[in-house]
């Protein structure tokens, strides 16, 4: 990156160098210019030129319009006339020996016979013209464009001749046929309009409504003042009027000794005294000609060379004094200005140096503050990134917790369902056990009945045994007749004993069955109690599962909330991280810029110190 301050300092330094160079150039240019002016004054016949008779006239109204002589249009017109005179003077000064009605006007360097020239802006169309003439014609053509410029130039015979220099881009050629006018030794060509459209036709309409034409001496040739105008109030009329006036003026040429021949009478105006004039249209901002400037240059001094010398001497003396004064002024400026300027510059550089020092200090402070800010931003970025990672970890952990809670909820629901199934199974077992218990009670009751029956059988057996014994006793009492009965009684008694033994065996079995039944019944009752306990445990388990499920649901909702909050926090922190990173980047860029600014300030301070030292040394 460039360092504008340093560059500015260098620029200022260069500017100071330029100032020195400018002062030196001023000093170096003024003297040569003065010398050149003196030399030019010494050799230029233009020093004797004088201008007079200038005016500005409205094209539409014909009234004279007073304008400032320093206006552009006037100066332009004046330049036209002066250029014409200058050309002629140069030719005269060239020492042309050819006699001319115009005294001193050489005839050998006269332009070709073509008296009517049409040239374009590049000067084409003006053959056999000298470079000066070509320049003049081109200049007039460029300046005139849509107007006709006139210049009195030496003709083929060296006589002053009115030339029309026109610029007609669309039509190359002459404006029209012309004819020579001989009048008092002054050859003029009266230009008449051609049959076809020429320059004048190309002029704007309003330019044709010239009410008056002013002669070079300021004589106003109004329409009502000359029959030449007739009803023709166009530029052609003005042109004709001008020629007519020239012709009229040329009727009384007074070549010869100057001085007395200087025309001072308007009626006998010497055409040679005003041999150059020009017309320029004045245009409004829309380009429409609204006035015509007629300017002529007076060449009376040319007609009176003895007057030229004193005039030239005076002018040369004046210009010489001016040049000497300029040289002295330049030398004074060259010697005094640096003192003044350097003093101011040194004060300025001191102030700039101090300002730059303060600026550098401020910039360094800002740079340090910016570095600290960048460091804080980096720390903040790191912390925020860590926080974001922690938030993401929390979100992940909470998500895993929510997932585990969901699995726990599922397991709890499954366990609850299984507990319900087990509870139903236990209830069914309890029903079965109760049925078994009832059946066992029924079995025990039946066993009791069997015992009763067995008791009755036992009683019968005892009774039978008693009867059999008594029968045996009776049989013995009966003697021999009762011997068979005794045998029967004995068999009966044996049967009774068997029945009694069987009854007792059955009784034992029944007792064992009753014992087993009682044991089974007791076990069944114990089973029923255990089943009741199991049911109670199942109810507690179901309640516990319900609580677990409720807690898991609450945990899941909480986890989802935490997860969402953590996710939002993570997103927010991500945005914060991006913003901080961008801020960090901007801060880094700013810090880098500040570093460059610091370097630039240092460079500027150093250059300021150098400049200050330089000025002090200077």
Partner 1 sequence: MGRMSHSIDSKNSADSPGSSCLLVEAGGKRLACAFSVVLEVGRVQQITPVPGGSVWLVGLIQWRGRLLTVLDAGRLFGYRPCQAKWLVVLTGLRVDTALIVDAIVGTDDRDGTADLVLDAEALAAHPALQPGAAASVPAPNEAA
Residues that bind partner 1 (CB under 8 A): 462, 465-466, 469-470, 472-473, 476-477, 486, 489-490, 493
Q: Assign 290 to helix, strand or coil.
A: strand
Q: In this structure, what DSSP letter does residue 46 have?
A: G
Shortest spacing between CB 463 and partner 1, in angstroms: 8
Closer to partner 1 by Cβ: residue 495 or 513: 495
Residues in Cβ contact with 156 at an 8 Å cutoff, skipping those fewer than 6 apart: 110, 111, 112, 113
Write down the least CB distance from residue 507 to partner 1, Å.
18
State how far the Cα of 79 lies from the Cα of 67, in Å rounded to an integer: 16
Q: How far is the CB of 473 from partner 1 (least distance, A)?
A: 5
Where do the H-state alpha helices sit in 44-182? 72-93, 131-144
- Min dist. Cβ of residue 466 to partner 1 (A): 6
Instruction: State the minimum distance, in angstroms, from the CB of residue 464 to partner 1.
Output: 12
Nearer to partner 1, 432 or 494 (CB): 494
Measured from the CB atom, the residue of 383 and 466 that comes closer to partner 1 is 466
Bridge partners, residue 148, by sequence: 166
Give per-residue burial for 400-430: e unless 16+ CB within 10 Å, then b. Answer: ebbeebbebbeebeebbeebeebbeebeebb
**Is-contact 228 208, C-beta < 8 A?**
no
Q: What's the angle, vertex CA 262, arms to CA 259 and CA 267, rounded to 5?
A: 150
Nearer to partner 1, 409 or 471 (CB): 471
- Residue 501 beta carbon to partner 1: minimum distance, rounded to whole angstroms: 14
β-strand partners of 279: 294
Q: How far apart are CA 145 and CA 142, in angstroms?
A: 6
**Least distance to partner 1 from the beta carbon of 477, Å?**
7
65 or 469: whose CB is closer to partner 1?
469
Nearest residue to 607 via CA among 7, 15, 16, 20? 7
In the complex with partner 1, which residue's Cβ is closer, 371 or 497? 497
Find tokens 């730059």 and name the residue. 356
Q: Shortest gap between Cβ of 445 and partner 1 (angstroms)?
A: 29
> Which residues sit opposite 222 in a β-bridge?
212
Q: CB–CB of 486/475 below 8 Å?
A: yes
Per DSSP bridges, beta strands 276-283 and 220-222 are unpaired
Instruction: Look at residues 127, 140, 125, 134 and name the one whose alpha carbon lies nearest to residue 81.
Output: 140
Residue 613 half-sphere exposure, CB side, CA atoms within 13 Å?
A: 6
Task: Provide, rounded to whole angstroms, the least separation between the CB of residue 511 and partner 1.
Answer: 21
> CA dihedral in degrees (568, 574, 577, 578; nearest 10)?
-130
Nearest distance, CB of residue 499 and partner 1, angstroms: 15
Q: Give the nearest distance from C-beta 436 to partner 1 in angstroms.
A: 41
Question: Nearest approach, Cβ of 488 to partner 1 (angstroms)?
Answer: 12
Residue 287 or 479 having the CB closest to partner 1: 479
Give the SS3 label for residue 228. coil
Cα Rg, the chain, nearest whole Å: 73
Nearer to partner 1, 365 or 483 (CB): 483
Which of residues 196 and 479 has its CB atom nearest to partner 1 in the complex? Answer: 479
Cβ proximity to partner 1, 305 vs 490, nearer residue: 490
Q: Which of 274, 271, 269 is nearest to 295 (CA)?
A: 274
Q: Which is nearer to partner 1, 476 or 509 (CB)?
A: 476
Q: Which helix (H) or strand (E) holds 235?
A: helix 235-250
State the residue for tokens 């507690």.
Answer: 540
Torsion angle, CA of 370/375/377/383, rounded to 10 degrees? -170
Assigned token pair, 608: 């300021």
Instruction: Pull the structure tokens for residue 373.
Output: 């800010």
Here the tokens at position 423 are 């509870």
Kindly state the smallest distance separating residue 481's Cβ from partner 1, in Å: 15
Q: Which is nearer to partner 1, 11 or 456 (CB)?
A: 456
Cα within 13 Å of Cα(406), Cβ side = 8
Beta carbon nearer to partner 1, 272 or 472: 472
């Amino acid at each position: 990156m460039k360092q504008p301050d340093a560059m500015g300092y260098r620029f200022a330094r260069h500017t100071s160098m330029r100032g020195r160079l400018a002062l030196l150039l001023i000093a170096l240019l003024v003297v040569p210019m003065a010398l050149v002016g003196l030399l030019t004054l010494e050799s230029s016949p233009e020093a004797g030129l004088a201008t007079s008779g200038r005016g500005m006239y409205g094209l539409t109204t014909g009234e004279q319009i007073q304008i400032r002589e320093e206006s552009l249009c006037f100066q332009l017109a004046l330049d036209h006339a002066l250029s014409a005179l200058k050309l002629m003077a140069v030719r005269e000064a060239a020492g042309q020996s050819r006699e001319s009605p115009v005294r001193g006007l050489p005839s050998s360097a006269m332009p070709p016979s073509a008296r009517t020239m049409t040239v374009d802006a590049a000067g084409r169309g003006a053959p056999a013209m000298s470079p000066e003439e070509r320049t003049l014609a081109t200049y007039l053509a460029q300046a005139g464009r849509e107007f006709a410029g006139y210049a009195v130039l030496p003709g083929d015979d060296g006589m002053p001749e009115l030339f029309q220099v026109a610029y007609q881009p669309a039509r190359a050629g002459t404006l029209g046929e012309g004819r020579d006018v001989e009048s008092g030794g002054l050859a003029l060509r009266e230009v008449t309009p051609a049959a076809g459209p020429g320059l004048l036709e190309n002029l704007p309409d309003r330019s044709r409504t010239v009410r008056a034409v002013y002669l070079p001496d300021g004589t106003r040739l109004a329409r009502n003042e000359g029959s030449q105008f007739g009803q023709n109030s166009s530029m052609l009329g003005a042109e004709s009027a001008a020629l007519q006036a020239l012709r009229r003026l040329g009727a009384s040429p007074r070549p010869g000794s100057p001085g007395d021949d200087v025309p001072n009478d308007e009626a006998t105006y010497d055409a040679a005294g005003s041999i150059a004039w020009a017309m320029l249209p004045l245009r409004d901002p829309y380009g429409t000609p609204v006035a015509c400037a007629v300017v002529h240059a007076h060449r009376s001094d040319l007609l009176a060379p003895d007057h030229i010398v004193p005039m030239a001497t005076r002018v040369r003396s004046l210009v010489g004094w001016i040049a000497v004064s300029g040289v002295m002024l330049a030398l004074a400026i060259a010697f005094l200005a640096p003192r003044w300027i350097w003093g101011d510059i040194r004060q300025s550089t001191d102030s700039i140096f101090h300002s730059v020092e303060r600026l550098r200090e401020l910039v360094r402070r800002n740079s340090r503050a910016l570095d600290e800010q960048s460091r804080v931003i980096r720390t903040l970025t790191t912390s925020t990134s860590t926080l974001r990672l922690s938030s993401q970890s929390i979100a992940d952990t909470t998500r895993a917790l929510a997932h585990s809670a969901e699995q726990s909820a599922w397991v709890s629901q499954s366990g609850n369902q299984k507990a319900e199934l087990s509870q139903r199974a236990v209830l069914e077992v309890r029903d079965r056990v109760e049925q078994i218990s009832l059946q066992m009670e029924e079995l025990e009751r039946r066993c009791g009945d069997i015992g009763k029956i067995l008791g009755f059988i036992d009683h019968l057996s005892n009774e039978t045994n008693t009867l059999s014994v008594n029968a045996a006793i009776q049989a013995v009492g009966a003697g021999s007749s009762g011997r068979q009965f005794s045998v029967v009684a004995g068999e009966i008694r044996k049967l009774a004993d068997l029945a009694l033994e069987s009854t007792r065996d059955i009784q034992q079995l029944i007792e064992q069955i009753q014992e087993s039944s009682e044991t089974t019944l007791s076990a069944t009752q114990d089973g029923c109690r255990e089943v009741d306990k199991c049911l109670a445990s199942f109810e507690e388990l179901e309640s516990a599962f319900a609580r677990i499920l409720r807690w898991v649901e609450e945990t899941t909702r909480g986890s989802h909330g935490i997860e969402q909050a953590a996710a939002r926090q993570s997103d927010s922190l991500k945005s914060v991280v991006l913003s901080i990173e961008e801020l960090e980047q901007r801060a880094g860029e700013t810090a880098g810029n500040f570093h460059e600014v610091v370097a630039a300030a240092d460079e500027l301070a150093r250059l300021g110190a150098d400049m200050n030292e330089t000025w002090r040394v200077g």
